[in-house]
Amino acid sequence: MSELPGCPTDLPYCPPDLPRPATDPAGLRAATLAVRGGQYRSAFQETSEALYLTQGFVYDHAAEAEAAFAEDIERYTYSRYTNPTVTTFEERLALIEGAEDCYATATGMSAVFTAIAALVRSGSRIVSARELFGSTLVVLDDVLARWGVRTDYVTGTDLDQWAAALATPADVVFLESPSNPMQDVLDVPAIARLAHAAGAVVILDNVFATPVLQKPLELGADVVVYSATKHIDGQGRVMGGAVLGTREYVRGPLQSLMRTTGPTLAPFNAWVLAKGLETMPLRVRAQNAAALELAAWLEDRPGVASVRYPFLASHPQHDLARAQMSGGGTIVTFTLDGAASSSADVAARADVDRTFAFLDALRVIDISNNLGDAKSMVTHPATTTHRRVAPATRDALGIAPTTVRLSVGLEDVEDLREDLDGALQVFRATHARARQSVAP
């Protein structure tokens, strides 16, 4: 909306000028753009971004409505199409990401779905990493499969599997890096090269890394999707999502699907998310620093079998993580000592119960399935986010009955450490009692 035409001479009236950006973004850095990008002050010269809580817009002349519908002039017509507050959020995020354009969506899942759906038709082929957010698996396997779109899965960290799958033409390649919850780090430049040679558009779900710690477009991805519900809000208030990519894609097939099917971001939510972006770089860096500290500390704790965190030397793709990301992220995944050798083992339920004793003993950290929040949260993936995943697949992904996903918030890191320490003591006592009771 910043490149508005002047008054077209062949119109019988002059459309009103739309405001110009309050700050010219040229040459400014991400933290500055997070605070100032995409703001359009109204005639009232307000300091904070205005909230345009309106469904529609009015026209001074009938001919102006005609020109707007004919797309002879660019202006706001209806908030299913777009709204000034939504524009602020979209422009701000696009500037931070370094993307040509952005389309805001009602949720992260509507971003995932529309980003893919805009690129496929019956007979299309998707190649995807197996390590995916649960609802994304359902979109691929149930929704798109019913419409004749086939998905072939590969183990995301295995480049040979990518090469074999992409020896055949494909329309879309989909991946998350780091993945949820086991934090596999995928070789984005190598996968993008294989994908492009196969004719595919690369879509990367960058929720775990955030716009602050990883720039997928620079690594070779074509499209980036976010659940803005996570770190972009970061304070547990509203749902939202975003799709970023070239202007040709965003304002072409994506916009036409979005405008007619309507998973639009509400102006109020856009306002909350635009304000969330102001503090996102600060919040993510602080949460990232605390997560690294807690991950390193957890590694030596009795009762903790293993820790998965991209910036720990023990991470299987540690060098790749250092090359692709400027921080390991705000989430630490760890697996407590357990007795079961697989999720199908008879001992698995007892392992789950002992892990529940750990979760229940936390007094600061909340049990929740969300992540990226200012409040620290723990999730038990095997019984919540990944409960629908078959036990054998959970084993293959490395999700044990004792695996815990910790989203590190903004509390004092010493309080979090003490909280985890206390809960680990409870876990060890429960674990020792269980072992005694089965001893001969």
Q: Is 415 helix (H, G, I), strand (E, B) or coil?
A: helix
Nearest residue (CB) to ligand PLP, 332 versus 424: 332
Candidate residues 52, 133, 311, 427; the one interacting with ligand PLP per rule CB under 6 A: 133
The Cα angle at residue 313 between residues 378 and 188, in degrees rounded to 5: 80
Q: Is 238 in the site for ligand PLP (CB under 6 A)?
A: no
Shortest Å distance, C-beta 208 to ligand PLP: 6
Q: Nearest CA to 315 among 302, 299, 337, 303?
A: 299
Q: Does 176 bind ligand PLP (CB under 6 A)?
A: yes
Give me 3's structure tokens. Answer: 């490149």
Q: Is 175 in the site for ligand PLP (CB under 6 A)?
A: no
Q: Does 232 bind ligand PLP (CB under 6 A)?
A: no
The span of 28-36, 165-173, 181-189, 223-231 binding ligand PLP (CB under 6 A) equals 223-231
- Residue 50 DSSP symbol: P
Is residue 399 within the footprint of ligand PLP (CB under 6 A)? no
Q: Does 131 bind ligand PLP (CB under 6 A)?
A: no
Question: Can you tell me the distance from the alpha carbon of 321 to that of 33, in angstroms, rounded to the nearest whole number?
Answer: 26
Which lies closer to ligand PLP via its Cβ, residue 15 or residue 178?
178
Provide, rounded to whole angstroms, the least separation between the CB of residue 365 and ligand PLP.
18
Residue 110 is inside which H or E element, if any?
A: helix 108-117
CA distances from 175 to 110, 198, 246, 311 (A): 16, 16, 18, 20
Q: Does position 184 bind ligand PLP by CB under 6 A? A: no
Interatomic CA distance for residues 296 and 304, integer angstroms: 12
Whichever of 180 and 402 has its CB closer to ligand PLP, that residue is 180
Distance CA 195, CA 193 (A): 5
Q: Residue 143's CB: how many other CB atoms inside 10 A? A: 14
Residue placing its CB nearer to ligand PLP in the complex, 361 or 374: 374
> Binding of ligand PLP at residue 214 (CB under 6 A)?
no
- Least Å from the CB of residue 81 to ligand PLP: 22
Does residue 243 belong to the site contacting ligand PLP (CB under 6 A)?
Answer: no
Residue whose CB is less far from ligand PLP, 39 or 210? 210
Q: Identify whether the C-beta of residue 241 lies closer than 8 Å to the C-beta of residue 102.
A: no
241 near ligand PLP, rule: CB under 6 A: yes
Residue 108 is a binding residue for ligand PLP (CB under 6 A) = yes
Q: How many residues bind ligand PLP (CB under 6 A)?
A: 14
Stretch that binds ligand PLP, among 104-112, 250-258, 340-348, 420-428 (CB under 6 A): 104-112
Contact flag: residue 204 with ligand PLP (CB under 6 A): no
Q: Is 205 in the site for ligand PLP (CB under 6 A)?
A: yes
User: Contact with ligand PLP (CB under 6 A): which of 79, 88, 107, 379?
Assistant: 107
- Is residue 239 a contact point for ligand PLP (CB under 6 A)? yes
Q: Calculate the CA dihedral of residues 368, 373, 377, 382 and round it to 10 degrees.
A: 60
CB under 8 A, 24+ apart: contacts of 380-389? 380/352, 380/355, 380/356, 380/404, 380/405, 381/181, 381/405, 382/343, 382/352, 383/352, 385/133, 385/134, 385/180, 385/181, 386/134, 386/181, 388/134, 389/134, 389/137
Whether the Cβ atoms of residue 2 and residue 20 lie closer than 8 Å to each other: yes
| Residues 329-348 interacting with ligand PLP (rule: CB under 6 A) | none
Q: Is residue 284 involved in binding ligand PLP (CB under 6 A)?
A: no
- 381 close to 399: Cβ distance less than 8 angstroms: yes
Give strand ranges (E) for 171-282.
172-176, 201-205, 223-227, 241-245
Shortest distance, CB of residue 3 to ligand PLP, whole angstroms?
30
Stretch that binds ligand PLP, among 103-111, 257-265, 313-321, 399-407 (CB under 6 A): 103-111
> Footprint of ligand PLP on this chain (CB under 6 A)?
107-109, 112, 133, 176, 180, 205, 207, 227, 229-230, 239, 241
